[in-house]
Amino acid sequence: MTNYSTYEKLIYMRLTAMANAFQLQMADPKMKDVPFEDRFGMLVDVEYTSRKNNRLKRLIKKAEFEQTDVSIADIDYTSGRKLNKALINRLASGEYIAEYRNIFITGATGSGKTYMACAFGMEACKQYNTVKYVRLPDLLLDLEAAKHDGNYQKVMNKYTKPTLLILDEWLLSPLTQSESKHVFELIHKRRKRSSTIFCSQFREEGWYERLGGSDNPLADAIMDRITYDSYKIDIESVDPTRDESMRKRYGLDPAKAR
């Protein structure tokens, strides 16, 4: 009766994993010879592991990755692309997040930018950082709608609060003045507080003009805030004859791979 009462109390306290492990211990005759301290430690370990796993699942779900079956370990370095493996592995450790630095990932369509960015994001989740993935066009539509609905600050917080923000399709289309203001506000709030991964088909040298160039006073301000101390990963072709779309290599839906 005491054991069942203990089990119920554990359930009531939402220590479900510990409660189930406790039941298994009670049903195992071999456990009678295990010291109390060891048995209790086993129960705590089960609950601790369960909570960390559940937390990771929540972080991954909340990140809303474009691709979830991704891994830094599965990045292909033999596909005819020029990739700095040492830098990629170093960034996977998350040191850029601790330093509030950004990452630029540039390359042609199908070169694997989204896959790599999501792989970095997955590693960040495993280190229990909050992550958010979003296409820049979707973010701009979200903010513009929020501006008219009176929820601008609430929606902006959704993108400024995550420890790591992944902006895919960065500057796919030149920005309007209104869109530039949204981007400036976002970048300004995140600067020196968090990290952002920018995925773009265009090299960094072309971003200024796509932000409006000299005709847009915010172009300089945005570039100044994101380029300082950023890591650059330019996915280049080493041998065009060996080029293979990463969509095909990873078996991805073409609509979900960039």
Average pLDDT along the chain: 91
Share of the chain above pLDDT 90, in %: 83
Token pair 């060996």 is found at: 242
Instruction: Kindly give the parts of the chain with pLDDT less than 50.
Output: 245-246, 249, 254, 256-258
Q: Return all residues near 80 (Cβ < 8 A) that are at least 6 apart.
A: 237, 238, 239, 240, 241, 242, 243, 244
* Angle (CA) 235 100 49, round 5°: 90
User: How much of the chain exceeds pLDDT 70, in percent?
Assistant: 91
Tell me the angle at which helices 36-63 and 113-126 cross, rounded to the nearest 10 degrees: 150
The whole-number pLDDT of residue 77 equals 85
CA distance 201 to 196: 17
pLDDT one-digit tens code per residue, 26-42? 999 999 999 999 999 99
Predicted local confidence at residue 244, as pLDDT: 54
Predicted pLDDT at 161? 97
Q: What confidence score (pLDDT) does residue 236 get?
A: 86
Domains recognised in the chain with CATH numbers? 2-61 (no CATH), 64-256 (3.40.50.300)
Q: Record the pTM.
A: 0.87
**Which tokens belong to 28?**
């195992």
